[in-house]
Amino acid sequence: MNGMRLLITGGSSYLGRYLTRLAVADFEVCYTYFQNDPLGLPQGEWLDVREETAVSRLVHTFRPHVIIHTIGSNRCDDMYNVICRGTAHVTHAARAINARLIHISTDALFDGRHAPYTESASPSPLHEYGRAKAAAETIVSQHPDHVIIRTSLIYGLHEMDHSTAWIARALQAGKPVVLFDNQRRNPVWVETLARACLELATTPYVGILNVAGRQVLTRAEFGLRLLDWWQIAARETLQIGKADGEKWPLDCELDLQRATAVLQTPLYGVDEVLQRFTPPECTRKTADS
């Protein structure tokens, strides 16, 4: 891998931060950020993926062999343009220099009524975020050398993911929180996902690949496990409830048979990951710290 150049879009994101820290050991890395750069490394470059000229300039200057496109949050103000226009600009630039493109997608582009979903399953989104991610997949699929990674809820044990951090803050402030016991997902450890991305950067696999944890949990089961691990004792305003299946997909279980055959990276389930680590006492971080 000596001399292989890797561009990570969204290096300031939860996944991007972990991915960048892992990649610098084996790749010549350039990562992008938009609002802030928590990594503060010399390899960081400010970039707005909605600006085609800026994307093209960076890609043609750095000339990466591989681009890992992580940008696509459902929390940004201009979600559809960031996801769709941004993905189009990155894909066009990747094609122009024949770079391999690894695109992070989501299980949230399904309607949750036909699980488990294999790689051949067509998107059937119920909400705007799912529609945007489905459109982005269509754009990426036009590039000959691409991988679309469909994944699920990303979490880590060195830094709280955004969702867990939000739940913890709300509970500690005495605000109501509802965890749904009728939504099923394959939560994925951030290290698993990052290592899978880097593995796919150097393999010939092309197409869609489901990459997630092999343990399927409800949102309530998952949330309670993480609250226990992070030792969040405030539970007075926590409720268990039902999600509206007309608005939100209920069962997004991903079939992982292909990923298990293709990848050397193990797809650990949540309980397997939690058993590997002792909850920290004094070094706990949240996603916003």
Give pLDDT tens digits along the chain (289 positions): 558 999 999 999 999 999 999 999 999 999 999 988 999 999 999 999 999 999 999 999 999 999 999 998 777 778 999 999 999 999 999 999 999 999 999 999 999 999 999 999 999 999 999 999 999 999 999 999 999 999 999 999 999 999 999 999 999 999 999 999 999 999 999 999 999 999 999 999 999 999 999 999 999 999 999 999 999 999 999 999 999 999 999 999 999 999 999 999 999 999 999 998 877 653 445 554 4
Residue 170 lies in a domain: no
List phi, psi (to 5°) of 12.
Answer: -90, -5
Q: Encoding tokens for residue 168?
A: 């913890």
Q: Encoding tokens for residue 231?
A: 């030792």
Q: Encoding tokens for residue 58?
A: 């960076």
Residue 285 lies in a domain: no
CB burial string 213-224: b at 16+ within 10 A, e below: bbbbbbbbbbbb
Q: Helix or strand or coil: residue 118?
A: coil
Question: Containing H/E element for 131?
Answer: helix 128-140
Q: Give me the amino acid identity at 183.
A: Q
Residue whose pair of structure tokens reads 């043609």 in the numeric block: 60
Residue 281 has what pLDDT? 54
Q: Encoding tokens for residue 11?
A: 């290096």
Question: What's the pTM?
Answer: 0.94
Residue 234 has what pLDDT? 94
Residue 282 has what pLDDT? 38
* Total count of domains within the chain: 1
Calpha distance 188→213 (Å, rounded):
5
Residue 43 lies in a domain: yes
Residue 96 lies in a domain: yes
Q: Are 175 and 242 in contact (CB under 8 A)?
A: no
By residue range, what is the domain housing residue 112?
5-156+188-215+253-270
Q: Helix or strand or coil: residue 101?
A: strand
Calpha distance 144→280 (Å, rounded):
44
Residue 174 lies in a domain: no
Domain of residue 16, CATH code: 3.40.50.720
Residue 109 lies in a domain: yes
Residue 159 has what pLDDT? 92
Q: Are 274 and 228 in contact (CB under 8 A)?
A: no
Residue 228 has what pLDDT? 95
Q: Are 159 and 14 in contact (CB under 8 A)?
A: yes
Residue 279 has what pLDDT? 74
Calpha distance 25→148 (Å, rounded):
24
Residue 112 lies in a domain: yes
Q: Encoding tokens for residue 73?
A: 């949050």
Residue 64 has what pLDDT? 98
Residue 224 lies in a domain: no
Q: Helix or strand or coil: residue 134?
A: helix
Calpha distance 213→199 (Å, rounded):
16
